[in-house]
Homo-oligomer: A and B are copies of this chain.
Amino acid sequence: MNRVPESELVLVPGGTLITPTPEEGRALSITMARHSIHNIQPDLDVLKGGRPNYSTTPDSLIAVSQVIAIEFQTVAAANNYWRN
């Protein structure tokens, strides 16, 4: 098996939910969602094989955007919504 590199399996990259800006918090949300998937399916070839499929299917893209939105609820709350 052509395994995803170790760094792509870290569940919370950076080890914290706290980020300086909303932009970085949003990026973290995307990364966490991606790394969830890497942990369930760590075979890089399978992952790459699926990409042409989901990334061109509107319903799959919508589903991914929903996961990001849910992750971001957590990250944003952790950062008190970067209010100050």
Contacts and interface: CB of A to CB of B under 8 A. Distances in A.
Contacts of A6: none
Contacts of A16: 22, 82
Please report whether the interface of chain A is mostly helix, strand, loop or mixed according to DSSP. Answer: helix
Interface residues of A, number: 53
Interface in A63-84: 63-74, 76-78, 81-83
Contacts of A26: 11-12, 32
Interface string A38-68: 0111000010011101111111111111111
Nearest to A50: B58
A73 B25 CA distance: 15
A23 B21 CA distance: 21
